[in-house]
């Protein structure tokens, strides 16, 4: 968990992705379609109610699949079968990669395209934290909450929502109440060692690391180490990051 993906290439490609993802948060056609997903019996002014509904609405895509054809690939130790995973790289932010699974017993294949288009995700209702945070952010924005996406450059992403004048942590993949306003959860329970945690709206990137750590001094030391290695990013200051983000054209 200690290695961060915060290098120039990763930053640039994530900025390109989030600029395109969050620009959909301004698209009224998309937001109108997303709003219709929320059932009438959900309290739309309650984040608790929305989080509980969304957790049941979405399906989690496991990293280890069971073969849909011969049923092998369960966690049974006697089971020799497993689904081998390969990644196919796409040429658009809409599906930057597809996970291709092949059963080593029967040869059956399954495809999991990693959609970043909101309406594609709302059709499949399937994914991991990326798909969940993209769609849940859209749900919130469609209900006239102000929300954005947060990326930790380790292995997770979630949302923030503006509430009572402050940005509040919201993670639709977690169980309520941890899913709401528990910003230190990942550091405490998952042992995360942050370098940069950034939030994205359509027009702005913000360094929100301090909200998620209770050990800011260690974050600063890690940033210092990053600067001193060649693998680190040259994009050190938040104004550099903001300039880069603003320069990106959506496609
Ligand atoms: Zn099989």
Cα separation, 171 vs 149, whole angstroms: 10
Task: Answer yes or no: do 86 and 159 share one domain.
Answer: no
Cα of 169 vs centre of ligand 1, distance in Å, is 40
Band the pLDDT of 1: cuts 50, 70, 90: very low
Task: Mention every residue, 6+ apart, whose C-beta is less than 8 A from residue 31.
Answer: 25, 138, 141, 142
What residues pack around ion ligand 1 (CB closer than 5 A)? 67, 69-70, 103, 105-106, 108
31 in the Ramachandran plot: left (φ > 0), alpha (ψ -120 to 50) or beta?
Answer: alpha
13-24 pLDDT, tens digit each = 999 999 999 999
Q: Which domain holds residue 80?
A: 62-115
Active site residues: 129, 156, 171
In a domain, 36, yes or no: yes
Which residues, 6+ apart, have CB-to-CB distance to 156 below 8 Å? 129, 186, 192
With H, G, I as helix, E, B as strand and everything else as coil, classify residue 113: strand
* d(CA 102, ligand 1 centre) in Å: 8
Is 15 within a domain?
A: yes
- Domain membership flag for residue 242: yes
- How many structural domains does the chain have? 2
* Model confidence band, residue 2 (pLDDT cutoffs 50, 70, 90): very low
CA 81 / ligand 1 centre spacing (Å): 7
Cα–Cα distance between 234 and 214 in angstroms, integer?
26
Q: Are residues 238 and 138 in the same domain?
A: yes
- Quick one: pLDDT at residue 215? 98
In this structure, the answer to whether residues 55 and 67 fall within a common structural domain is no
**Which range has the worst mean pLDDT, 57-66, 202-211, 225-234?**
225-234
80 C-alpha to center of ligand 1: Å?
A: 11
pLDDT for position 9: 86
pLDDT in tens, 25-54: 999 999 999 999 999 999 999 999 999 999
Spacing, Cα 133 to ligand 1 middle (Å): 31
Distance 113 CA to ligand 1 centre (A): 20
So what's the pLDDT on residue 58? 98
- Do residue 162 and residue 230 come from a single domain? yes
* pLDDT tens, position by position, 240-251: 899 999 999 988
Q: When comparing pLDDT for 26 and 237, which is higher?
A: 26
Read off the pTM: 0.93
Number of neighbours of residue 196 by Cβ within 10 angstroms: 23
Assess whether pLDDT exceeds 80 at residue 3.
no
Proportion of the chain in helix, strand, coil states, percent, rounded to 5: 35, 20, 45
């Amino acid at each position: 968990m200690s290695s961060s993906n915060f290098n120039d290439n990763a930053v640039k490609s994530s900025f390109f992705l989030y600029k395109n993802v969050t620009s959909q948060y301004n698209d009224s056609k998309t937001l109108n379609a997303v709003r219709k997903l929320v059932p009438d019996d959900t309290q739309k002014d309650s984040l608790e109610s929305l989080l509980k509904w969304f957790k049941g609405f979405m399906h989690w895509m496991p990293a280890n699949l069971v073969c849909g054809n011969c049923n092998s690939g369960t966690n049974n130790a006697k089971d020799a079968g497993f689904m081998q995973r390969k990644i196919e790289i796409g040429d658009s932010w809409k599906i930057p990669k597809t996970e291709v699974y092949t059963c080593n017993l029967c040869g059956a294949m399954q495809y999991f395209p990693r959609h970043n288009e909101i309406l594609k995700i709302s059709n499949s209702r399937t994914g991991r934290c990326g798909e969940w945070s993209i769609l849940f952010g859209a749900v919130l924005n469609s209900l006239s909450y102000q929300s954005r996406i947060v990326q930790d450059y380790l292995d997770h992403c979630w949302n923030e929502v503006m509430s009572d004048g402050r940005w509040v942590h919201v993670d639709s993949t977690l169980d309520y109440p941890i899913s709401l306003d528990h910003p230190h959860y990942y550091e405490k329970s998952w042992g995360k060692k942050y370098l940069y945690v950034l939030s994205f709206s359509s027009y702005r990137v913000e360094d929100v690391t301090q909200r998620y750590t209770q050990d800011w001094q260690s974050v600063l030391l890690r940033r210092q180490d990053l600067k001193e290695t060649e693998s680190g990013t040259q994009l050190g200051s938040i104004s550099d990051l903001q300039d880069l983000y603003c320069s990106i054209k959506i496609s």
